[in-house]
Amino acid sequence: MSKFFEYYKTTEYELLGKTFNLTNITLRYKFRQNLSRNIYNFYDYFLKDGERLDHLADTYYGDSKYVWVIVLVNDMIDPQFDIPRPYDEFRKYVKRKYGSWENVVNGIHHYERVAVYRNEYEKIADINPPIKIDESAYNSLAEKERKIVTNLEYEEQLNESKRNIKLLDASQLGRLVDLVESVFEWNLQ
């Protein structure tokens, strides 16, 4: 992954009288515009627990150096945090974030309205996705219409949502490399 930003141009940025040479990640926008104008074949892919993008690039594209293809196609900003954490790392992360495992499991992250009932027996509709509500709105609803989302449920859903990514069809790799070289003015050969 360290080579990914190696090809990006840098720009000087001044802050508090100091000048920093920073990677210009705004080039991604120009790339995304060009990608949307070109026709490519993409496939849905589900990342397994602990699966690494560089290994996936090696398996799918024949070389781990093409990890940047997965990163750009999926519009990842920070691949370390834009992919799901492995189970053991996830448990450590949430425990550290919420202070204890008890806070993870029992702490309330937010409240949701999940359905609308006309009366006690007649459901009008399920709400999908649920609507986040505050505690007073939660308390005003019937039990069937509301849900408490714990810290663990929230974090698991967030982590799991990162498992679904897109893979560029390997037959399109050459076209994509040509596009990236022209947009970013890179030489990837």
Q: For 72-129, how does the pLDDT look when each residue is reduced to its tens digit (9 = 90+)? A: 888 888 878 899 999 999 999 999 999 999 999 999 999 999 999 888 888 888 899 9
103 neighbors 150 (Cβ within 8 angstroms)? no
User: Directed axis angle between helix 27-37 and helix 173-184, to 10°?
Assistant: 140
Q: Tokens in use for 64?
A: 């781990």
Give the residue from 62, 34, 57, 36 showing the smallest Cα distance to 45. Answer: 57
What is the amino acid identity at position 22? Answer: L
Cα separation of 65 and 166, whole Å? 17
Q: Tokens in use for 95?
A: 């425990």
What's the mean per-residue pLDDT of the chain?
A: 85
Residue-level pLDDT at 18: 87
DSSP state of 21: E
Q: Tokens in use for 71?
A: 């990163």
List of residues 6+ apart from 60 with CB closer than 8 A? 167, 170
For the ranges 10-19, 36-45, 94-103, which has the lowest average pLDDT? 36-45
pLDDT digits (tens, 9 = 90+) for 80-96: 889 999 999 999 999 99
Q: Is the pLDDT of residue 3 over 60?
A: no
Q: Tokens in use for 10?
A: 């840098």
Cα separation of 53 and 50, whole Å? 10
What is the amino acid identity at position 127? Answer: I
